Structure 1
Amino acid sequence: MARRPDLVGLTVLAMLSVRPAHPYELHRFIVDTHKDYVTGLPRSLYHAVEKLAGQELIVPVETSRQGRRPERTIYEITDEGRRELATRLRALLESPQGERRTFTAAVSLMGVLPVPDALQSLRTRAASLEGELAGLNAHLEALRTSGLPEVLTVELDYERTLSEAELGWIRGLIARLESGELTWSGTVNQGLLAEVLDEQESES
């Protein structure tokens, strides 16, 4: 049985690739930006931070206390953490084998990749989906030719319809990236993301 991708850890790495932050800021950002694929908050977030720190993908850089509030530890991503983030994210963007929620998470965070890398990963996914659809169409045609009642294959038709819709959406996204209609600077739209995190820090 394949391991489920660690979407919470992936999100923590992505957020810390923008700037150092403490877990409460990350929690607020996830909630405020409706990253609904992240479940089990806040426990899952703190567990992910602890695990990533144990793997030395992130490191604590400062501990602060404001008034009577509990101490807050600020973490930053390491060079190894950045490499791991890019590797994990490209894999999730490229493979159509996982849950659709996983692809939602990958698309949500793809701004941490350079545009050419994100574009290449999306092209790889599109090619995989095209191959899967060709095989599925051939399989459905063979079943129908065999005289199997259509009611016994409706679930395959449903899967085909979902895959066709996803492929159409990805092709549109690729076209927007290729034309420059959708783009970002460097490896992430750091200005926007950092601004949101800074607002949260001033409110907390």
Structure 2
Amino acid sequence: MTSTFRRSPLALAILSLLETGPMHPYAIQRLIKQWGKDQVVNVGQRASLYRMIDRLDEAGLITTTGTDRDERYPERTTYEVTDAGRAATRQWLAEIVSTPRNEFPELPAALSFLLMLTPETTTELLEQRRAHLARRLADQDAKLETPLPRIIAIEDDYTRAMTRAELTWVEGTLADLRDGSFTWSHAELAPLADASMKAAEA
């Protein structure tokens, strides 16, 4: 079953953290947030974390080591990574780091249908995105004031570079929209749409 387990950032995070020692789900979630990994791994919903832990357990990638009982907290099941889990972690890391993958993010999908909007509306929306990106980049740069060893937070290097690259692209596109070198109209696009429809129906 391990060979068919579908990898995910959350599964990778759980397996990797359990290599530091046995933990219960709450501790895993807390450690992900303490290490800032919640910026690249979605742990906002605890139910998703528990579902993933159950799936990893069923696949034999982790196993239970016991249940903690404390009057202050509900029962907590502790998990540890198995040899199969360690092997899967290294295989996933090798595949992800070495081979680019088309992950179908939302923005390129939206851009591919931007012709549904007007250039004026597009300009307004991209100005809003630029403001969001500028704030995000400022927050990311602020994290540099409390530096960690690079290997602990190397994903911050990547996300900051990606944010900066996207901000540069948005600013360049806004410049083209404002000077008129990038524009369109539904009237001009209508014949192209008609031709495409006829070709699709042929």
Shorter-chain-normalised TM-score: which range? 0.3 to 0.5
TM-score, L = length of structure 2 = 0.46
- TM-score if structure 1 supplies the norm length? 0.46
